[in-house]
Structure 1
Amino acid sequence: MSEAEILVAKEGAIRRITLNRPQRLNALTRSLLGALSDALADLAADDEARVLVLTGSGRGFCAGQDLGDKGAVEDGRVVRDTVERYYNPVIRQLRSLDLPVIAAVNGIAAGAGMSLALSADITLAAESATFDLAFARIGLIPDAGATYTLQRLLGPGRALALAILGEKLSARQAADLGLIWRAVPDADFGKDVDALAARLATAPTKAIALMKKAFHAGGHHSLEQQLALEAELQSQAADTEDFQEGLSAFLGKRAPTFKGF
């Protein structure tokens, strides 16, 4: 029996999904993407989950599309089918999760692997990790949401230049550009990922879900539309038990204990 291409672990309120093709630097195949989509669907229905950590096994995060996946990249028609049937659903699922998503980039994130990492809410990378938008080197355009996320993170000028030039970035360069949240020394990487996941596992989950909704809408709303949305979402946040707990803790000068609703 072949080893699972996706590993799912439950640690209290923390969920970890690990891409598990280390011999191929976790390069993406249609079967892996299908398994990832199934895992994300299960996660969306998991009422006890409060944070997701997405990472890769071995020495890479994800090397992008496995060009040896027969039937996935032969011509334009096939590539379009692969993107629409396998990549796009996963990106939509990641972006629509109510809970916070951490991409723990432990090694190279190339092509669609870089796109996947940048679809997370918080991207943390080991200093030895690299980010490589390699599409131009094989005559393709960035996909898996990269043309959407990159220009929002870098601005349109830098994003397009990075796509055209396809230059590899170190984790430190990516952090300095604002592409990721933080680059940390390799020796501290596992500990820092665990600490961040533990912190978010005790955060006010409903407020984070509403926060994500507001920020995702902000990119295409007018100021007036966004002000109205903020008022609506803030009213929803104020109706939660976690807000009452946060208010009580603030007034009582104690640490809050959020339940996630």
Structure 2
Amino acid sequence: MEGEIMSETTVISEQSILVDVKDTYHVITLNRPDKLNSFNDEMHRALYAALEAADADVNCRAILLTAAGKGFCAGQDLGDRVKPTPGSPPPDLTQTIGDFYNPLIRKLKSINMPIVCAVNGVAAGAGANIAMACDIVIASEKAKFIQAFAKIGLVPDSGGTYFLPRLVGSARARGLAMLGTPITAAQAEEWGMIWKCSSAETFLDEATAMVQELSVGPTIGLGLIKQALNASEGNTLDEQLDLERDYQGEAGRTPDYLEGVTAFMEKRAPKYSGKR
């Protein structure tokens, strides 16, 4: 049932994706550690279903995306594809992108609540770009980010050519995309690719604490912030000013705005409902 709270971890689609439903947020875990959590079709479907379930849960106000094992995600499971051979027709990679990766990135960007990504290890190819599609990324100091596409003659997908220049600038984006040079989590933080690099022992606790905080925050306002930032990447200044005006009006009509101001005046911690 919509909004129902489950007391135990829910396993979706033969454990390629694990979902742990908390009172106010969902934890979604990529769970193919023996394959460095690389994607096959089944895992794509399971992750998309998990995101849709979180989006539909009226009690869910934030999402934590993480992964099992030593790596976060190695991108596409190349063993799941028919290998090209000399003289055979080339594979149609547009189908995988159109059917799976593009809808996944659009879903991550459109879900109207904060999504925190906890990167535990290597994030390569689409795995790196899926992380960048989330709202806030906290990475273990052991993590690395690799635009591995050029190493096998491909082009960055899953939004890589969109996110990289906006996060790290054109020169660095071109170097990362064309050379496929791995960068550490510390360097990714320095370049503005991620929010924070933390110790391997604490990064997941930090990410969980952040999601817990966000999940009891002013949910409508946080969703409007996400929408505004997403829109700013294509808007002119005038368009963005008008959007801010409209979103501020919407946020100002929520019970959470009244609660936030009242709590401030009464010098107490606010108790946000996340409701309209």
1:186 aligns to what?
Answer: 200
- 1:1-261 aligned within 5 A: 3-71=14-82, 78-261=92-275
The residue type paired with residue 47 of structure 1 is V
CA contact (8 A) 2:147 2:181 kept: yes
What SS does structure 1 have at the residue aligned with 2:202? Answer: helix
Q: Distance in 2 between matches of 1:86 and 1:177?
A: 29
CA contact (8 A) 1:73 1:82 kept: no
CA contact (8 A) 1:129 1:171 kept: yes
Worse overlay, 112-121 or 250-259? 250-259
Shift of 1:213: 0.9
The residue type paired with residue 61 of structure 1 is F
Shift of 1:3: 3.8
Shift of 1:157: 2.2
What SS does structure 2 have at the residue aligned with 1:7? Answer: strand
Q: Distance in 1 between matches of 2:203 and 2:228?
A: 30
Q: 1:73 to 1:9 in 2, by over 3 A?
A: farther
CA contact (8 A) 1:127 1:185 kept: yes
The residue type paired with residue 170 of structure 1 is T
What SS does structure 2 have at the residue aligned with 1:89? Answer: helix
Supply the RMSD in Å over aligned alpha carbons.
Answer: 1.5
What is the identity percentage for the equivalent residue pairs of Structure 1 and Structure 2?
43
CA contact (8 A) 1:64 1:112 kept: yes
CA contact (8 A) 1:73 1:79 kept: no
Q: 1:204 to 1:73 in 2, by over 3 A?
A: farther
CA contact (8 A) 1:72 1:79 kept: no
Worse overlay, 153-162 or 98-107? 153-162
Structure 1: 5+ residue runs without aligned partners?
none
Deviations 1:97-134 (A, max 9, x none): 11100110011100000011111000000101111111
The residue type paired with residue 23 of structure 1 is D
What SS does structure 1 have at the residue aligned with 2:72? Answer: strand
Structure 2 length normalisation: TM-score?
0.91
Equivalenced residue count is 260
Q: Distance in 1 between matches of 2:43 and 2:181?
A: 27
CA contact (8 A) 2:117 2:207 kept: no
CA contact (8 A) 1:62 1:109 kept: yes
Shift of 1:71: 4.2
Shift of 1:78: 2.1
What SS does structure 2 have at the residue aligned with 1:187? Answer: coil
Q: Distance in 2 between matches of 1:142 and 1:163?
A: 7
